[in-house]
Structure 1
Amino acid sequence: MILKLVVAGQAVLAADAPNPAPSAPPGMEAVATSFLSWGKWILLVAGVLGFMICAGMMIIGRRNRSQTAVDGAAGVPWVLAGLALTSLAAGIAGVALS
């Protein structure tokens, strides 16, 4: 009985509510743009540092420290995945909210 009421309530809400386009609150657009641009810059720097650290581990581990080289090589896909997720973040959030 409760499940039927919940489903019926969701159908009513979905039918009555329009789906407005996202818009920034007054005065917040510049702040949000600055915040997002800082976040993108920080993640870009972190990605470059991540690649440099992985490369350094591979260089250092070349001789007699093979586990260090393996750890450096294993870190590369994680850095790539993090950068890919960063670049797709706006698209993923837009799909989730639409």
Structure 2
Amino acid sequence: MTSNSTLNYPNCWHARGYGLFAANPLGIKDFTENKTSLKFSLESGRSITFRYRVIISSDLYLTNNEINALTNDFARKYEYGTNKFSQLLKKA
């Protein structure tokens, strides 16, 4: 899950056969065949936080309601507008 406060939400995710599983908020250009790009820079001394939640379920399938509840819980913790990223956008 990607927090809606994360840059370029919702992010693209990708997996590779050798075990890589990753969120990629900066690679939108590659995922859209150059149809969309992201122009983002960070001033020296500034920081940005990317927030993700990974849910691992063994031998059980989560229902849509369970997934939605987990997503909503995560979103409430990091609502857009209450974090450093939204402050960076306001200054840009």
TM-score by length of 2: 0.27
Instruction: Give 1 or 2 for the bigger CA radius of gyration.
Output: 1
Higher relative contact order (CA 8 A, sep 6+): 2
Is the helix fraction higher in 1 or 2? 1
